[in-house]
Amino acid sequence: MNRTAQASSSTLSMFALIAACAAPAWAEVETFSIDSAHSFANWEVRHVVARTSGAFHDIKGSIAFDASNIANTSINAVISVYSLNSGLLRRDLHTLTEEFLDARNYPEIKFVSTRVAPATPDKGTFSGQLTLHGITKPVTMDYQILGIGQDPWGGLRAGFKATTRINRADFGMTKYTPTGPVGNEVDITLLIEGIKLGSDGQPWNAKAAAEEKTKVIAYPIATPPAPQTVALPAPAPSAQSPAAPVQTSPQAASIPPENNLQTAPASPAAAVPEKKENLEDQLKKKLKGLLK
């Protein structure tokens, strides 16, 4: 449980370390991820007249480090209570019960930083809110910057140590208090290693970053469109030079229109006189026959 405070303090320590060693080179906020494989929250408590110790091995979190203004640095750390290891399984199971950590109801220890106060280039204090056993209390830790530098794989790492002391009764763990076999005060020591992250959220790599800066970006060259021929309209005739009259060939003029080529049908009036003459002849013939 004290380990949480350690984890958070370790994070803050790392910030201070980065500020002291690399602040001139960084102009913006850098993010570091706590490396769970190389970070530990160790605790030590009295047992009767001796001392018993253990550690939490699963610490996760991130550190937003502002080298130009360490006061703007922020840390968030989470410790899994189930990662407790005291070297004796029976003791671990007892510590995880409701008599102490009550891991079933409170499986995590959390720390959120609120203030960083460097005293020297590699030492100082940081404060924050520690949530343990469902109770949140302010905690202040002393930190020491252990170093910051490039690892063999091209990444950047920061290491620090932080220490504090808490009273377990302040966090609701009152079993065997005040004069029981288990002491009330718990000493916490955080050993934290952080890995710098890139803008993509993945571990930063010096070689990849250098290649990114020197990368030549090839932009496509646009091909200009082919020239187009534009047909200009003919100039309008001027008033001083009237257009020449259109000449028609004699043959074209002598050709009558298509309607004139049609022959009109014979008039029915021309046939009537012919019919009348036939009737007169017939009448004359009949009269001549009667007169006889």
Residues 277-292 have a mean pLDDT of: 67
What is the per-residue pLDDT for 123? 86
> Per 3-state DSSP, what percentage of the chain is helix, strand, and coil (rounded to 5)?
30, 35, 35
pTM for this prediction: 0.63
Residue 62: CB atoms within 10 A of its CB come to 18
SS3 (DSSP) at 32: strand
Distance of CA 211 to the CA centre of its chain: 23
Distances (CA, A) of 83 to 63, 132, 185: 21, 15, 21
2-210: CATH, from 3.40.190.10, 3.40.50.2300, 1.10.8.10, 2.40.128.110: 2.40.128.110
Residue 187, H or E segment = strand 182-197
What is the per-residue pLDDT for 73? 78
Domain spans of the chain, in order of start = 2-210
SS3 (DSSP) at 255: coil
How many percent of the chain have pLDDT more than 90?
A: 43
At 119-176, the pLDDT tens digits run 887 888 999 999 999 999 999 999 888 888 899 999 999 888 899 999 999 999 999 8
DSSP state for residue 106 in the 8-state scheme: -
Q: Identify the CA nearest to 6 among candidates 182, 179, 139.
A: 139
Distances (CA, A) of 134 to 91, 105, 106, 126, 173: 22, 8, 6, 22, 10
